[in-house]
Amino acid sequence: MLRDVFEIGRRYKRFNPTEMKDYGKLVMVLQDANRMKRNLDMDLMKPVLTVGDQLRDIGALDILADPRVTTAVLPLQGNRATAENRQKKVDAMKDLLDEYSQVSEKAGSGDATTRDAIIVKRRHTIEKCLRSIDDSYTFAHQCGSPLKKLMKWLDEYFPRGKTGGCGTSIEIRTGKGGSCISHSHDTQNQYVRESLELWHITQRDIFEFWGCVEKDMIVTGMDYRFVDTGQGFHRLSSAPLTGAKMSSAIAEAHQKMGGWVGIKVVHLGDRDVPNALVFIDKYTVIPRLVAPVVHVIEALEAMFDPTQEEPYPGVRNLLKAKYKSLEDLRATILADFFKHAFDGSGDDGGNCIDGRLTSAWNWCSLLHKKDYYTAFTLCGFTGFD
């Protein structure tokens, strides 16, 4: 029973990273239980239940190779969110359920009632699996979409080869505005884009990262050391699977970018990132870091648009008086974010993979001191957590 309860909790955490605050304690309990498995005479570790497991149990694994699954499960966002595509998605789901719910004559050799019960159960299981795939794609899209938008705005407002459309450069210099590194406009553009690209890859593959983290913590990490890392006491343990997965993500980002600015050091299993659990905790908060920024940039359009109703009387005139135009305000916010959320204020001069996230969080912690903070609050911003 405990194995089942713990498995449900671990599976729930992957889709709800902001919930279940005691997840770390659960992993440590499993880590110690696995370490003492022989003495306890029981195994509390159970593989996380997957769609593949469920489909394999009912003999319907071949559905995953059906091209109609793509139509049935991919999220409808942006230009794809049309009535026609929604109907295609519904039809594809129905066709798949009707076809793969059927059982062979041998499997349904009992009476009609038994056969119908088997078909209903298969249909329920297959639908649950397809809905789960749909949920995972939607979750990954929600986590990665803000990063894609930031990359689009980086190219739109601050293209390489010239300063931004509003006459703004994202060049940074050591000691200016808190920057710890010096980059030209073009170099900073590349540095920001490669960081966003890497973060997008980690969000796309976040479920694979979760699997690596749990194996590293509970299996490989049994031989941990309890040490003072300078950030409190932590369990220091190696994380070979997580490290290999992250190295693969960096290599993919490097290939897409055609080059790399900064260093590729991944702190993992050391005093900066003592174990895989600390690692995944840092990377699951990326959407919470960038989503509020994207929300404000998009919400500003309605705030400045005279054809739309003001959320509060006089807000539009206040914004125009203080920040001039919509494009000026957007360029100001984005320029500051692209400069000082990636200014090397993290560890190792901020150039290492982990330090880039630290630099971004440093920017978040100082947002309330920015000249444009009023615009954030008027757009409904309440915080990053």
pLDDT by 10s per residue, the chain, length 385: 788 888 888 888 888 888 888 888 888 888 888 877 767 777 777 888 889 999 999 888 999 999 999 998 888 777 777 888 889 999 999 999 988 888 765 555 556 777 788 888 899 999 999 999 999 988 988 999 999 999 999 999 999 887 644 557 899 998 888 888 899 999 999 999 999 999 999 999 999 999 999 999 988 767 888 898 888 898 999 999 999 999 999 999 999 999 899 888 888 888 888 999 999 999 999 999 999 999 999 999 988 888 888 777 888 888 888 888 899 999 999 999 999 999 988 765 557 888 889 899 999 999 999 999 999 998 888 888 7
> How confident is the model at residue 172, as a pLDDT?
92
Phi, psi of 17 (to 5 degrees): -65, -20
Residue 346 and residue 344: Cα distance in Å, rounded? 5
In one letter, which amino acid is 284?
T
> How confident is the model at residue 186, as a pLDDT?
92
Both structure tokens of 206: 């976040």
pTM of the model: 0.88
Which residues fall within 8 angstroms of residue 183, CB to CB, at 6 or more apart? 171, 172, 191, 261
Residue 347 and residue 187: Cα distance in Å, rounded? 20
> How confident is the model at residue 320, as a pLDDT?
86
